Amino acid sequence: MKLKDVIITEANGDYIAVTADGTFNGMIRMNRTAAFIAEELKEEKTLEQLISAVCKKYDVAEEIAKQNILNVIKQFDSVGLIEK
């Protein structure tokens, strides 16, 4: 899976994502972990690759990483940011 063309920026401790191609007219506020997942998804990644990256970055159990990743992906997908 992969995100569409998204620009992610940090402002006052919050992370903001906007699309560069106008797919989604708005901004998405997210935490640092969601921003990390979004950055990872700028290139094609499998769920397993994402789990590995999150576990390595945050020293978290695989099941917790998987649940967090699936929640973030669900939110991205609900506004049309995941390439199909």
Sorted by where each begins, the domain ranges of the chain are 6-78
Which stretches in the chain have pLDDT values below 50? none
- On whether the CB atoms of residues 77 and 19 are closer than 8 A, the answer is no
**Between the CA of residue 39 and those of 7, 45, 77, what are the distances in Å?**
9, 11, 15
Phi, psi of 16 (to 5 degrees): -125, 135
Position 9 scores a pLDDT of 93
Q: Which two tokens stand for residue 34?
A: 């969601």
Which DSSP helix (H) or strand (E) runs through 50? helix 47-58
Position 79 scores a pLDDT of 86
* Residue that the structure tokens 């199909």 belong to: 84
Which DSSP helix (H) or strand (E) runs through 63? helix 62-78
